[in-house]
A and B are shown apart, each in its own frame.
Chain A
């Protein structure tokens, strides 16, 4: 696993941070993953504003991760507008219900774990495919 994509390269994390319950959870999940060192959370609004530094950084990163609260996928679409195709994680496709989910540490930790596990699984699969 020394060459595993999960342990190398610059990985940037963006959350939709929307005003709905699941949007708020996406923000918290991104912060948890960033604090854990899984990647570095960056400001989606700066990419949306087309600021050259954040946009070019996203383009130059080894991997970009979009965490969206719902299937509107605003984080993913913002990045796509900037010419970046991120790995996309949508919380409503991972068991949460928009408008009916109470923000708790347990939910945030559960979603963080799910995304972490998915990323590790996908990474392992890519490693296997590259063998």
Chain B
């Protein structure tokens, strides 16, 4: 099982991105866990200066905007 992290303090955009990631995982039927990260120090550890950000297996895929579900699926499939 791999991890998808959503970096953000819990604003509506972070929640929307979390929902999209969970839907993408569910629709692809892959074994992945979506984890919300709200700790500012941990967010900064990823070098993310803008949120929300999406991290797959330690790599920041996007920051500061909400990608489409299709984009998230592509990143998951490429993993």
Contact = CB atoms under 8 A, between A and B. Distances in A.
A57 B50 contact: yes
Contacts of B32: none
Interface stretch (A25-33, A48-56, A107-115, A120-128): A48-56
B34 interface: no
Contact of B60 (A10, A12, A53): A53
Interface string A49-67: 0011111110111100000
Interface of A: 10, 12, 40, 42, 46, 51-57, 59-62
A57 B61 contact: no
A40 B49 contact: yes
A92 to B, nearest CB: 28
B62 interface: yes
Interface of B: 46-50, 53, 59-65
A53 B64 contact: no
B2 to A, nearest CB: 16
Contact of B61 (A40, A42, A56): A56
- A51, A53, A62, most chain B CB atoms within 10 A: A53
A60 B61 contact: no
Contacts of A55: 60
B63 A46 contact: no
Contacts of B48: 53, 56-57
B50 A61 contact: yes
Contact of B63 (A40, A59, A62): A59
A60 B53 CA distance: 9
Contacts of A52: 46-47, 59-61
What are the 8 tightest A-B residue pairs by CB atom distance, in nearest-first order?
A: A60-B64, A53-B47, A57-B49, A52-B60, A56-B63, A60-B63, A53-B46, A53-B60
